[in-house]
Amino acid sequence: MTVLQVADLRFGYAGDTLFENVTFTLALGERAALVAPNGAGKSTLLRLLAKEVDPDGGTVVVKKDVSRGYYRQSHELAAKGDVLSAFLSGFGDVVELREQLVAAQHDAASGEPRALAHLAHLTDRYHVARGDDLEHQVAAIAAKLGFSNADLARPVASLSGGERGRLQLGVILAQEPDLLMLDEPTNHLDLDTIAWLEGWLRSYRGAVLVVSHDRAFLDAVSTQTMELGGRGLRVYPLRYSDYAVAREVDLARERALMERQQAFVDKTEDFIRKNGAGQKSKQAQSRRKMLDKLDRVSGPEDVWAIADRISFRFAESARSGELVIDAKKLAASRGGRVLFQDVDLLVRRGERIGIVGPNGAGKSTLLKLLAGKGDPTLDAGHVRRGTNLQEGYFDQHLGAVNPANTAVAEVRTIRGDFTVEAARQYLARFRFWGDDPLRVVAGFSGGERSRLALAKLLLEPRNFLFLDEPTNHLDIPAAEILEEALVGFDGTVVLVSHDRRFLETVTTRIVSVRAGRVDIYPGGFTDFVTAHAPKAEVRAPREKKKSEVPAALENQDRKGQHDAQKQLSREREKRARRLKDLEDLVAAGESQLALLRAKLREDPAGDWAKVAKWATEEQSLSKRVDVLMAEWSRLCESLGS
């Protein structure tokens, strides 16, 4: 069932169009990834779909009676009540009953018969409303998001920013809406929780639209990828990694088509210039009319092209000694809890060590100890540093940037010899163009602040880097370019990250911090996962409430089971017939595609209108075949074929 229909959506700011011609549908069971560089309007599009902002044109239609859930990057939770009440906030009647029940329990302490009777009455109502079951289900989600039973009684006002983010995500998931929209849901999650969320979403019955820069997460969750551009939306029935390959093929084909048409136009224009007044003037006039009517093929919109224009290049630095760090008996405690103790770690030049583990385990604390930024009152141990070290530290909270400064002023705090123009030229390498370098940092997005912090870090020669969640606010191209830069880095790196693709590409050794233990594993992140990563438990989404069967009807159970079996059998036969139909449709589609692609390879003989029509048909048919193949694959899986 289609739950969302979007047609010709357009939106912009101050007369500048951000995007237009956005058209797509989403049905129950579909999981789509919305991708584009930072600043392209992904979050804005989600706000339009949530009806928080009105479009400049087009329509957004959510099917009647479809419930919606929207997880925002900004965690707008009311700072009142306890955590459990916040988790239950999507179930108004149950929350109201729970509050009345808590008050009645307090009153019943007096022992008065009337108060006890009122408590019994409310307790019965709470049971009938399935409040107990709901509390258990919510508590299970809360536990997976890092909230203990004790945390459920904490005031919301006491939560940190990261905890509020996880709480808001849990509030949305607990409601299990028909249409679930998630904007960067993994930003505050550790590796274990991300794995759990992936499993939860894969078994989810509703429609999912997710924005994320976590490539591994997108691959695990989404079955189709939507690329948002200024001119519209490219929709691919593919996971992110396959989409990244397919779009390059599409762009190459579209560029070739444009170039072939342009070559024809240039040749025709040359003929017209040479023969405008001669014996062939009538032919020239005829060709001019033909060109005037020609449907020009525009160049393809490559939304990632600008995003790729970023340059993370490390300044030349001295060579450090072979031994970089020799840490002995490291220990740390926070809040009266021992995070780790007796940790020994030897780091050699050229290593790229990844620190992983659950939230709160002590990853950032260990990184700070190694970087000499620990708390002497809470930490213990000794770190012997090697010779000729030039160290740099990237803070995930971006404390290295002053919100009161402009980007130019921030660069000049490191390089006072830079003129304003030199600073602007340097910042252009990090995608700060036009007036961006003169803007105050307080108005920057998280991604812009991250790029500025990295720009400052790379201004000075470094041969030893400490990086705490460096990709948290970076878009996909920036993260990939940073990966390439670190892999080619001649120095040593110790980093904390929950970005699995980043860890897979960059790390050469893994340090796992978990439950008071620190374990060191040779090999990169892939080897660590294969050998040691715990398997995430996956809870199937909660079933919708069903009427309880009266005791008098228990004797009809067998008949009901028999009818259910017959229905299942009919459904299986129906799917088998659909599978056969799909095979025929795919075969016919591939045959038509082969013919169209053969035509596109032929000389157009000047008939570019026909070529443009064929190209449109080929692209549409190709997407249609991909959709049919995706459905065929799902049916094969459900039938066990």
The predicted structure's pLDDT at residue 547: 43
- C-alpha to C-alpha distance for 296 and 266, rounded to whole angstroms: 13
Spell out the residues 6+ positions from residue 590 whose beta carbon is closer than 8 angstroms to its own: 625
pLDDT digits (tens, 9 = 90+) for 180-237: 999 999 988 999 999 999 999 999 999 999 999 999 999 999 999 999 999 999 999 9
Proportion of the chain above pLDDT 90, given as a percent: 42
Spell out the residues 6+ positions from residue 14 whose beta carbon is closer than 8 angstroms to its own: none
At 126, the pLDDT band (50, 70, 90 cuts) reads confident
Residue 339's SS3 state is: strand
- C-alpha to C-alpha distance for 194 and 529, rounded to whole angstroms: 14
- C-alpha to C-alpha distance for 87 and 152, rounded to whole angstroms: 9
Structure tokens at 335: 């809040």
Going from the C-alpha of 219 to that of each of 165, 192, 212, the distances in angstroms are: 23, 17, 11
User: Residue range 453-460: average pLDDT?
Assistant: 88
The predicted structure's pLDDT at residue 600: 73
Closest by alpha carbon to 265, among 281, 286, 288? Answer: 288
Q: Pairing relation of β-strands 323-334 and 379-385?
A: antiparallel
Spell out the residues 6+ positions from residue 173 whose beta carbon is closer than 8 angstroms to its own: 69, 141, 180, 200
pLDDT digits (tens, 9 = 90+) for 348-367: 999 999 999 998 899 999 99
Going from the C-alpha of 430 to that of each of 302, 411, 453, 466, 479, the distances in angstroms are: 19, 12, 10, 20, 12
| Amino acid at position 472, single letter | N
The predicted structure's pLDDT at residue 514: 92
Where do we find the tokens 């007096």?
Answer: 110
- C-alpha to C-alpha distance for 618 and 600, rounded to whole angstroms: 9
**Mean pLDDT score across all residues of the chain:** 85
* Among 39-43, 395-399, 538-542, 579-583, the least confident range: 538-542
What dihedral do alpha carbons 555, 559, 560, 562 form, nearest 10°? 140
Note the CATH number of domain 350-371+390-531.
3.40.50.300
Widest pairwise Cα distance in the chain: 114
Residue 356's SS3 state is: strand
pLDDT digits (tens, 9 = 90+) for 313-351: 888 899 999 999 999 999 999 988 999 999 999 999 999
Residue 606's SS3 state is: coil
The predicted structure's pLDDT at residue 608: 60
Q: Which pTM was predicted?
A: 0.75
pLDDT digits (tens, 9 = 90+) for 261-312: 888 888 888 888 888 776 677 788 888 888 887 777 778 889 888 776 777 7
pLDDT digits (tens, 9 = 90+) for 465-514: 999 999 988 889 888 888 988 998 999 999 999 999 999 999 999 999 99
- C-alpha to C-alpha distance for 507 and 210, rounded to whole angstroms: 27
- C-alpha to C-alpha distance for 318 and 435, rounded to whole angstroms: 35
pLDDT digits (tens, 9 = 90+) for 543-590: 444 444 444 444 444 555 555 566 666 667 777 777 777 778 888 888
Domain 2-242 class, CATH top level: alpha beta
The predicted structure's pLDDT at residue 545: 45
Pairwise pLDDT comparison (382 vs 542), residue with the higher score: 382
The predicted structure's pLDDT at residue 469: 92
pLDDT digits (tens, 9 = 90+) for 588-631: 888 888 888 777 767 666 666 676 677 777 777 877 777 677 66
At 634, the pLDDT band (50, 70, 90 cuts) reads low
Sheet holding 224-228, edge to edge: 68-71, 179-183, 207-211, 31-35, 224-228, 233-236
- C-alpha to C-alpha distance for 425 and 432, rounded to whole angstroms: 9
